[in-house]
Amino acid sequence: MASHTSKTVIYAALAGNSAIAVVKFMAAAFTGSAAMLSEAIHSLVDTGNQLLLLFGLRRAAKPADARHPFGYGLQLYFYTFVVAVLIFGVGAVVSLIHGLDKIRHPHTIEHAWVNYLVLSIAIVFEGWVWLVALRAFNKQRGSRSIFAEVKSSKDPTVFTVLFEDTAALLGLIVALLGVAASQFLNLPVLDAVASLVIAAILLIV
C-alpha cells in the first residue's frame, strides 16, 4: 500500500502549504487582494488535505482484526476522496463566492508589491513540493502512462498531492497575473476575475 516515499511527499507538501497559508492570509489582509485571499484559502485547504492523507495512511496501515479481516487498506481511498471533496467544496466554492463579491464591489489593491513578493516566494516553495511529488510519481509509474498509473495505482496519495500542487502552481501564476493586470491597467475588477479563474482550476482538479 503506502510507502515511505508517500509520507515524504505529504510531509513536504504539509510543510510548504502551512507556511505559505499564513503568509498569504497576512498579505491578503494587508493588500485587500481577492486573488491573494483565494490563494490563502487554497493553501489552507491544501494543508488540511495533507493532514487527512496522513491520517488515512495511518488508518490504512492498521493490521487486520475481527471487524476488518482484510485489513484497513481501503480507508486510504476514502480519505483521498474526502480530500477531493474539500478541494471542490471549500477551496473552489469559497474562491468563487469571494470573486463574485469582489466583482460587484471592486477596489484598488494597496501595497501591491507585498503580493508580488509573497506570490513569488510561494511559487518557489510550491515548485519545490511539486518537483518532489513529480519525482515520486514518475518513480511509481515507471513506463506506464499518467492515466494508466492513476487508474491502477495502489497508493493514491502521491498523485493526489501532485495534482493538488499542480493546481496550486497554476493558481499562483493566475493570482500574480491578476494582481499585475489590476495594477498596471488600473482595473481592480481583474483581481476578482483572477479569483474566479482560481476557483475554476480547483473545480477542474
* pLDDT (tens digit per residue) in 20-54: 888 888 888 888 887 788 788 878 887 887 887 77
Structural domains in the chain (count): 1
Q: What CA–CA distances, in Å, run from 62 to 4, 6, 137?
A: 16, 17, 24
Any idea what the CATH number is for the domain that residue 33 is in? 1.20.1510
- Summarize pLDDT for 139-198 with one digit per residue, the tens: 877 777 777 766 666 667 777 778 878 888 898 899 899 989 988 898 888 888 988 998
Q: Give the DSSP per-residue string, 156-172.
A: THHHHHHHHHHHHHHHH
pTM over 0.85: no
Q: Containing domain of residue 62, as a range?
A: 4-204
